[in-house]
Amino acid sequence: MKELHPEMAVDIEKAIAAKFPNKKIPKCFINFMKRFIHQDYMNDFLVRGYKGVEFCHEAMKYLDIEADVKGVDRVKVPEGAKITFACNHPLGGADGIIIVSTIGKYFGKESRLLVNDFLMNIKAIRHLSIPVSKTGGLQVRNLPQLIEEIYNSNDPVMIFPSGICSRRIKGKVQDVPWSKNFIKMSRKTNRWVVPVHFIGQNSKRFYNVAALCHRLKLKFNFAMLLLPDELYRARHSRYKLVFGEPMAPDTFDKSKTDLEWAAYVREKVYELE
């Protein structure tokens, strides 16, 4: 039997306290959140001590999720070339697990990730991740330096340029416009960009809550609180992951702005559907 590591468990009460250090959170809300995020179910897996790519491989088994992977043979870059994998972000949990697992399986390397800072409470992927705050709270002081370090590394960088999960836009589940930073950093550090399309959706509830928050112009992303439950609901699911043709660093020239190039890569991702 695998040795257990209780220190790897998630404690939602501590996580919320760290995220909002100057606010008193009612105990009833904490207890509700423990049930809502399925803390016991998640911790049953987390305490097994898996880390990095192995964590993602085993998480897929634990959740009984699979992915039909296409287009890996298209990813042909010069030997030793660095790669940025740019992907749409429909799920907010299972998609990240599957992509990191797939990159590890087919390319033999651990990916570096830019993630919502709340995910830093999952110790198993903390060493791969750079936290980006999407809800306010504590900020990472040296974030620009950390981002530059991962792009300068030889490791693959896996990025969701939308920054948040897909929304229902004009009747279709799709990403919000992509940010330009992955273009700027990939060109600066001589990285090839590989478009990746993940085919899958969250529940209608998630997109309805996200739409309501948008209509009410709420600053806090309440839909984000649903993501642990969405991951739980993703059990026994099958998804599809499609890799596109790599784009050389010199593709992103001055014929377009970085924001326009980001939109171009986003378009290429959705063409893979």
116-168: pLDDT as tens digits: 766 776 888 888 887 776 554 445 567 788 889 899 999 999 999 999 999 99
pLDDT of residue 74: 96
pLDDT of residue 211: 92
Name residues of the chain where pLDDT drops below 70.
Answer: 1-2, 117-118, 121, 133-141
CB atoms within 10 A of CB 193: 25
The answer for residues whose C-beta is within 8 angstroms of residue 43's C-beta and 6 or more apart is 9, 10
Sorted by where each begins, the domain ranges of the chain are: 50-271
Q: Which residue has the tokens 């699979």?
A: 66
Distance from chain centroid for Cα 83: 17
Task: Give alpha helix (H) positions in 64-179.
Answer: 94-107, 143-152
| Tokens coding 188 | 């600066």
Q: Give the span between the Cα atoms of 115 and 98, in whole angstroms.
A: 15
pLDDT of residue 118: 64
Radius of gyration of the chain (CA): 18
Residue 179 DSSP code: P
Q: Which residue has the tokens 């974030």?
A: 143
| Tokens coding 143 | 């974030």
235-252: pLDDT as tens digits: 999 999 999 999 999 999
Q: Which residue has the tokens 């429909």?
A: 90
Ranges assigned E (strand) in the chain: 66-70, 82-87, 112-116, 129-132, 157-159, 167-169, 172-174, 191-199, 238-243
Question: What is this structure's pTM?
Answer: 0.89
CATH tag for 50-271 (out of 3.30.1050.10, 3.40.50.720, 3.40.1130.10, 3.30.390.50): 3.40.1130.10
